[in-house]
Structure 1
């Protein structure tokens, strides 16, 4: 599609002006500081607790790690990312017995362990989202798998690859320091053994460390005046409290809400799934909205076993092929028939966020942004028309319409969210971008009106950035990492910006790996990128150790400074693709608008170095696989220390 093609609607200047006006309503001078730092809060200390763990059962087991242990591979994170690192190491020829996994949670699953709210499901087709389906021989029950099934699949992976007994759960990693003499990372851990036993402090030595703690793991809470005076019950969706609502994480019968007035703050991807379930049970439900989501059709349906056997999973390598077909549609370079054929594949402008074919010269940025808006117009108008068609009250329908392009806020897809607003017990409270005014003892205050609530649900997302932070992979994980010559990774990234080779390893931090998220290719299907990066790291380590012939356990792998700088320049060369994001409505993508404030050219260059691969996931995959095929480990330094 090109601007000027017959039948292509050119972006309407009036709509672009509307987008700007709506964005400006939502800009707040405090930026990300409008959210609490949980470490400074006692009221929300419960967010550190694990409501699902059985401490007694864990305490009775023989620990898989002890103070002073020396291990080969330490994986920080037991979600899909951590599991994929471990599995690909094993598939590359390494021994599962040499792997240990550490996670603060009480089980495998990552975000699917913590998030257990009613209505929870993946928003990407489960046939490509759930990793290793072909290898495990598992058929998802629905096109979009629900939370319990996603969590169970993490356990399935751990069992199949012999990792179930290699994990130390309930354990926080505080920091890691490189010991250059020993060629080991000294990693400080604290195991939480529950209220009946003291915590266990330990330091272990690891040759290789993998930071795979994910991004959706730190719930964020808005600063609201009067919250400490609120007498009702409240909880965050990431720590759903079924004692308050009734039901369980596998039975969404929320019968304790039948006589309760419920408020939910937030209308993002989580709320879109939770609101229909709350609406079924609450005496009255108030949905408090600052910025509406775009909500397209999901088309949920059970998996047809015949279609699965004869079409979807019929050929060897089907999941990778299907995933890459999906990616090709996302970046508007279709590779054959649209196999997934859902709302993602019909949102061509989403590649404004994830990159697409072509390198945009700085002087072409205005034309590029205009092109993106042209791609977006038909999709956006269709979704706004759908809202009008589904929601019966015209005023409510208008307030539920999104006024921003697809690259500004993750699109959502659901069949029951919009119809929920036709129910007599559901009220949308739209704040016209201003947000809430505060709380009283028994009410939420918005637009000068008090809305009495007995139960308050915080669907306010996750902290993807730490205030005033570097945005480094280890800062996102909450880990302090000191590399070669005492270099603090956060200091390096604050001073220089992102510095990696292929987004997985940094100079001065040997044998420390992570799956981006800076300087890599990205897609709506997170697990594809995780698998690609995990496979890439395993390929690097297998080749590095092959070269030394297994003669030492003191091998180090690290980018050269030249290799890291060259990769950073390749990222920067393509960063203009993402110029349209600067005009986005505030949200996590723009650090609540703070990214738009960066005027200093040096700071803009630093930000550009931390961008994703601007040519999109398809081209990024080609680049990575071509590098692997060369077999030279170019840009890396491998040393066999005796």
Structure 2
């Protein structure tokens, strides 16, 4: 958008009817800087620059469970045994899996017909695994924590900390009688559809601890729902010399408090007082844990390839009187507040008169580029797409300039402040929010090692080489993210899925994603999942998960009500192709993501490497709903209201 025509459109969208030469030059300079910073970070290996530790025998210890109590779990009566059969098997015991179970119960399914399996040692999903110091949710807890109204629970803070989020998952499980239905430490290996029996055969390995052998457990289920989440499987960079390093190392999602001191409830990290600590990665996790590491470490080196944009967090304790009289004062308050949040983010016209959440997300008016917005999906003409992208940039420039100024205001050393500035649009990476991250770099024991987009070079026996300098470390912490959320449903969960006639789900989707409503696929009967491909996204993940759980519960219970007890339901090939075309038609709503700095959101720049029309069409089929979550929710709600189960075949 740096050419003259694009600049004119952008300026007009921003309300500048007659932009001066200085304004035009400023806009052009910013976009040229964006492009230059992106180009520094583009790599030919894309996502292959990372190692999925689950697929590496040498590195699997990075995903070992440090929290599990094998003795206690082994003493319990297992809810799933080898040879068990259940009506509904839910894979995943995080918020999404719990919501699937709760909405099935609400729709009339008996608790005795539900079983839950998870590779973790307890409920919580990402909140089970992630227990690093400073962990909190960056979405307001009043809209993020599920089922607050149903459970009558008041969060302690506007943005809840990790222990409370994990405890809430346990609270949901206990409230709905799901604890005894959950089998933990179960790693799903494969699913195979047994056509003659109209059942899924699900093969799992159960880790029973170091003193017992891994147990092979095969169960059969009429329906399987995969709700395995997107922030559970750690990845680490392919670093030359990784095996040479003799210091301590761990991933942030498996925090080693035995080494650092402290606990998930108390972040003193007292054992780091004499340690030289390095952390690779400066995303949302690092923004939260770096201040605690800085407070406790003798020396802290923060290795940065791409800076995170960091706005203020402004967390406060929940005021019980405000909670009772303003926040949770009426029936349906949580749903109303969630929709209010989405409409603010989506720039819905007219904008809600009251911004109920009123936080840093509300001051991110261009974030709809990531989630979609009403009327912005179907853009048939190139000039419409250009105007849409220009409008998003116009909304974004003011915010990003403010964020960059914040670095100048909070960081004393101007050279360091400059390196902490995010030169990309807000939507290219998930925005960060923290009150102490930037000022942490004023501490004498903290060194920002900015690699100017290249990343660290390699590891040695003693530490890391970056920018030609060796940094000796006692401890290396990898804050390097997780398996891509846009992998296929089976690949994301690390399992193989064989449907009718032995058809592989991953093989099918390698030709292009094909679903009905983003929740089921032809030739894979009685199998469901909560998107994200061909479904929709909201900045508040649990809002999306709840709607998708209600939708899947409707399909399952309606099929059972209209068919026999062993009913089989799946979409037709024509129906899923028609839905795929609707998704494809709205893909232009995400046009602004082209040209983004590499990240997990764009496959480390994979979007910009697509060349042929066929490749681009295939990628667009796997997008989410370009008109935004509310349009998607209304579409599937209307489908349910019609009551015809259109596009599904019951047999």
Which bin holds the TM-score, normalised by the shorter protein? over 0.9
Where do 1:31-430 residues align within 5 Å? Answer: 31-39=46-54, 41-333=56-348, 334-358=351-375, 359-363=378-382, 364-430=384-450
Quote how far apart the aligned CAs of 1:596 are.
Answer: 1.4
SS of 2:510 mapped into structure 1: helix
**What is the Cα deviation at residue 132 of structure 1?**
0.4
Q: What secondary structure is seen at the aligned counterpart in 1 of 2:487? A: coil
Relative to structure 1, the CA distance from residue 237 to residue 409 in structure 2 (aligned partners, 3 Å threshold; closer, same or farther) is same
How far apart in 2 are the matches of 1:128 and 1:59?
36
Q: Name the stretch that deviates more: 618-627 or 411-420.
A: 618-627
Bigger mean CA deviation after superposition, 601-610 or 356-365: 356-365
Structure-2-length-normalised TM-score: 0.95
Preserved CA contact (<8 Å) 1:325 1:336: no
| Partner in structure 1 of residue 3 of structure 2 | none
Question: What does 1:553-564 correspond to in 2, within 5 Å?
Answer: 553-564=565-576
**Equivalent residue of 1:174, what SS?**
strand
Rounded to whole Å, the distance in 2 between the matches of 1:23 and 1:568 is: 31
The answer to whether structure 1 residue 604 and structure 2 residue 623 are counterparts is: no
Asked if structure 2 preserves the Cα contact closer than 8 Å seen for 1:25 and 1:434, the reply is: yes
What's 1:505 paired with?
520
Unaligned runs of 5+ in 2: 1-9, 18-22
Offset, 1:336:
3.5
The question of 1:630 aligning with 2:646 is answered no
Looking at structure 2, the residues matched to 224 and 386 of structure 1 have their Cα atoms a distance apart, in angstroms, of 33
Distance in 2 (alpha carbons) for counterparts of 1:15 and 1:141: 41
1:489 corresponds in structure 2 to: 505
The correspondence of residues 458-607 of structure 1 with structure 2, limited to 5 A, is 458-464=478-484, 471-495=487-511, 497-548=512-563, 552-607=564-619
After TM superposition, list the pairs within 5 Å mapping 1:430-469 onto structure 2: 430-464=450-484
> Which 10-residue stretch deviates more, 573-582 or 510-519?
573-582
Q: TM-score, normalised by structure 1?
A: 0.96
Aligned-residue offset at 1:5:
5.5
Task: Check the 8 A contact 2:457/2:465 in 1, yes or no.
Answer: yes
Q: Is the Cα contact below 8 Å between 1:258 and 1:283 reproduced in 2?
A: yes
Q: Give yes or no for contact 1:473–1:517 (8 Å, CA) kept in 2.
A: no
Report runs of 4+ in structure 1 exceeding 4 Å deviation. 7-11
Structure 2 residue corresponding to 1:16, chosen from 14, 18, 31: 31
Q: Is the 8 A contact 1:267 1:289 kept in 2?
A: yes
1:71 Cα deviation after fit = 0.8
> How far did residue 7 of structure 1 move?
6.2
SS at match of 2:229: coil
Offset of residue 33 of structure 1: 1.5
Aligned pair count reads 631
SS in 1 for 2:442: coil
Distance 1:40 1:5, change over 3 A: closer
Aligned residues of 2:63 and 2:234 also touching (Cα < 8 A): no
What is the distance in 1 between the residues matched to 2:130 and 2:509? 31
Change (3 A) 1:408 1:442: same
CA distance in 1, matches of 2:379, 2:557: 36
Per-residue deviation, 1:4: 4.0
CA distance in 1, matches of 2:161, 2:331: 26
- 1:579 CA drift (Å): 1.7
Q: 1:226-265 deviations in whole A, cap 9, x for unaligned? A: 2211111111101100011000111111000111111111
Contact 1:111 1:217 in 2 (8 A): yes
**SS in structure 2 at match of 1:187:** strand
Write the deviation string for residues 149-193 of structure 1: whole angstroms up to 9, x where unpaired.
000000000001000110110111111111112111111111111
Q: Name whichever of 590-599 and 143-152 sits farther off.
A: 590-599
Where structure 1 has 5 or more consecutive residues not aligned to the other structure, the ranges are: none
- For 2:119 and 2:601, the matched residues in 1 are separated by 26
**1:23 & 1:2 partners in 2: Cα distance?**
23
Contact in 2 for aligned 1:436/1:445 (Cα 8 Å)? yes
TM superposition shift of 1:538: 0.6
CA contact (8 A) 1:103 1:172 kept: yes
State how far apart, in whole Å, the 2-side matches of 1:187 and 1:437 are: 42
Contact 2:122 2:184 in 1 (8 A): yes
Query: Partners in 2 of 1:437 and 1:5 — Cα distance?
Result: 42
- Mapped partners of 2:420, 2:155: distance in 1: 32
In the aligned structure 2, how far is the partner of 1:362 from the partner of 1:211? Answer: 38
- Deviates further, 81-90 or 560-569: 560-569
| Contact 1:362 1:576 (8 Å CA) reproduced | no
